[in-house]
Each structure stands twice: as structure tokens, then as C-alpha cells.
Amino acid sequence: MKKIPFNKPMISDNAVTYIKECFSNSAFENSRFTQLSAELLTKMTGAKSVLLTTSCTAALEIAAILLDLLPDDEVIMSAYTFVSTANAFVLRGVKPVFVDISPDTLNIDENLIEAAITEKTKAIVAMHYAGIGCNLNIIEKIAQKYNLSIIEDAAQCILASYNGRPLGSFGKLSTFSFHHTKNITAGFGGALLINDEKLIDRAKIIWQKGTNREAFIAGAVDKYTWVDVGSAFLLSEINAAILYSQLETVSELTQRRLAIWEQYQQNFSQLKTSKILAFPKEISDCRHNAHLYYLVLDTPETRNYFIEAMKQKGIDTSFHYVPLHTSPGGIKYGKTVQPLTWTEYYAPRLVRLPLYPSLSREEIDYIINNSNQLLMA
């Protein structure tokens, strides 16, 4: 029997060479590969500055600190996201306010944001699901109207764009993930994209444990010391070396993912079965990066049976987020002010299929054929 994992991170040819270079030069922090990776990401996104972090979670935590959010402030976000999107703000005493998703994209429904705004609202978090951009045209207008900051949780969005602009370039602050489940990986890591120049200097202090070490390295001060809050947010040079080896081939890796995504799309968009309620839609304003491919099935029972039956065939498929507003943490720390109908309907019905560059044509056909048999039964 075949065994097809849900995810299989790529190992770039240069990764081992670059890691050996780190050891040869005793370079383990903020050295050549950190700088090269940040430069490439800056060029790709147009950000004013990019800081590599230990995770996307860490990048979100820096963002919450930079915005000077205070206890009892509120931040609006989708409930259909990973816990880090909310937790980064809860750690500052901020209350996440959960809004429903759009059934077309599974992103926050931009038409519901305004009704969730109060005098305590300070920011909107735009989490782009599956590398498909939120409706940033409307979100930007709302943010301007109410003087709110936009933070892009672009964890899944490397090389994705909205209206021709890279995702990650719209928010005052934005974050990427290089977790092993993402399109490119550092093993574990993330990045903070800073699009407001006024925040760069303080971001570097927070990034460097609350010290002015970056100014010391630049020769601006003769010693460095503790000047602000911060933590050990800096990505290790070894992880940066792995990341750089993947950034060198990110276009090729993305094209391969897109080709697999298109094979899935051609099949499931033509499959005539009442068991499929939804699958990803092509959005005219968006260029996605094939981060994932999902199906929304007719009942939770169908979804659970599908996952188990595919497992019996050697194919690992996966559900995704448990909505935050239904979780113990979300109930304790968050707030829901309106029905989250689509979130609650789609979450227990959604299943993700394997999608990574090393999938062979034979494996893709095996996944599709077994899916079709189950869904047509």
C-alpha cells in the first residue's frame, strides 16, 4: 500500500552546505544568512524592513508590542485561524473580537467588520487563508475611517498577492511563517514585515531582547543595554541558512505547488456529487500561492469518514482549525458580538488534501482517484 503523508517539507540542495558554513564560521546569530534572507524578503514584498523571528507567533507578539496595545483594548479578527493570531494579543491583555468568515474565501468577512468596532478597537487582523488575500480594499477603507491599524497575518502567503501587490505589504505590520508545514521552511521560523518606517528602530530593540544591540553593532553607541520590553525573538543563523536555501528556489517551488493545485481544481470542479459543498475559488483580485487545497463536505460525518477512509488507503488528509470562539481559550479571553454562521458550518466539514512539490503524478492520481471513489459512493 502507498503511504502519502499530508505534508513533506522540501530539503534544498544548498541547505547542508550553508549549515556547515555556519559552523565553520561560528556564526549562529544574525549573520550572513539572516541578512541575505531578510534582503530577499524585503525585495519580494517591498517592506521597509524585515526581521527574521523564531516563529510567526513571535512576529505577531512583536506587532502587538509595537502598537502599544493596552489591557482592555480590542482587536478584530476571524475566528477561523490558528491560536497564535489571537494569543499574541491576549498576552498584552487585549481582547480578540471574533467575526465570521466569507464562504467564498474563508477569510474574515469584510462586510461584518464595521459592526464589531467599538471605542476600544485598535486594530484589524487580516489573516489570509490558503494564501488568498482578504478584501483589503474594503478593510483599508474601514481602517482609515476609524483610525485603526491593519496587521496582516500572512503566515501562508509567500509570493501571493492582492491587486498586484504582495500580501504582507498592506498592513502597518505583517507576519510570515516558515514552519515546516508552509510553502518554504526554516524548519521553524517566521518574519516580521514592517511597512511603517517609524516603527523600525523600536522593532529592532524588541527583537533584540529589549536592548539597543542593533545600534551597538552599527557603531551608533559604545555599549548596549536594556532600553525597552522585548524577548529572544531572533531566528538562529542555522534556521536562516535553511530558509535562504529555500528562498533561492521559492519561485520554482511555488510553480510546482500551483500545478498540483490546478490538477485538484480541474478534478473537483467537474466532479458531480452532492457531497462537495465547496472548494477553493479563483478570486479575480488575488494571485494565490497554492498553500493548500481543501474540500468542504456535506456533513461532519462525511468529512470524518473521508479522512479515515483515505487513511486506510495510505493517504493522510487533515481537518483544519477548531474555531477560536468555540475553544476554552477563546471563550475565556475573546468576545463574539455577532453570529459566526459560516465559521461554525464550514469548520467541521473542511478537509485538506496533501499538497507539496515532491508529490509525483502517480501519487496525485492516486489521491484524486481514491477521493473520487469515496465522494461518488
State the DSSP string of 177-190.
E--TTSSS--SS-E
Q: How does residue 13 score in pLDDT terms, banded at 50, 70 and 90?
A: confident
The pLDDT of residue 218 is above 90:
no
Same fold for the pair 15-247 and 250-376: no
Torsion angles phi and psi, residue 69, rounded to 5:
-70, 140
Q: Measure the CA–CA gap between 138 and 197, rounded to whole angstroms.
A: 24
The phi and psi torsions of 121 (rounded to 5 degrees) equal -70, 130
Identify the band that residue 282 occupies on the pLDDT scale cut at 50, 70 and 90.
confident
The pLDDT value given to residue 270 = 95
> Which pLDDT belongs to residue 1?
73
Residue in the block written with cell 490558528: 82
Q: Is the pLDDT of residue 315 over 80?
A: yes
15-247, which class in CATH? alpha beta
As a whole number, mean pLDDT of residues 248-273 equals: 97
The predicted pLDDT at position 145 comes to 98
| Greater pLDDT, 178 or 13 | 178
User: For residue 217, which phi and psi values (nearest 5 degrees)?
Assistant: -60, -35
Please state, in angstroms and as integers, the Cα–Cα distance from residue 304 to each residue in 146, 156, 218, 307, 350, following that order: 43, 25, 55, 5, 9
Contact (CB, 8 A) for 59 and 206: no
Please return the burial class of 308, using the count of CB atoms within 10 Å of its CB with bins 0-12, 13-18 and 19+.
exposed
With 90 as the cut, is the pLDDT of residue 102 above it?
Answer: yes
CA atoms within 13 A on the CB side of 134: 31
Beta strands in the chain (DSSP E): 49-53, 74-78, 95-99, 121-127, 149-153, 161-162, 165-166, 173-177, 190-194, 276-278, 286-287, 293-297, 335-336, 350-353
Q: Which is it for strands 286-287 and 173-177: parallel, antiparallel or unpaired? A: unpaired
HSE-up (13 A, CA, CB side) for residue 33: 31
- Per the CB < 8 A criterion, the answer to whether 323 and 340 are in contact is yes
Are the C-beta atoms of residues 239 and 341 closer than 8 Å to each other? Answer: no
**pLDDT averaged over every residue in the chain:** 97
Q: In this model, does residue 201 exceed pLDDT 80? A: yes
Burial class for 342, CB neighbours closer than 10 Å (0-12, 13-18, 19+)? middle
Contact 170, 126 (CB under 8 A): yes
User: Which amino acid would we find at residue 374?
Assistant: L
Residue 358 burial (C-beta neighbours within 10 Å; 0-12, 13-18, 19+): exposed
Q: Contact 330/324 with Cβ under 8 angstroms?
A: yes
The three-point CA angle 315-320-324 to 5° equals 165
- CA Rg value for the chain: 21
> For the residues 306-323, what does the mean pLDDT come to?
98
Taking residue 71's Cβ as centre, other Cβ atoms within 10 Å add up to: 8
Domain 250-376 top-level CATH class: alpha beta
What is the percent of the chain with per-residue pLDDT over 90, rounded to a whole number?
96
21, 184, 173, 166 alpha-carbon torsion, rounded to 10°: 120
Q: Where are the domains of the chain?
A: 15-247, 250-376
Identify any residues that bridge with 99 across adjacent strands, giving them in sequence order. 78
Q: Cell for 224?
A: 548596549
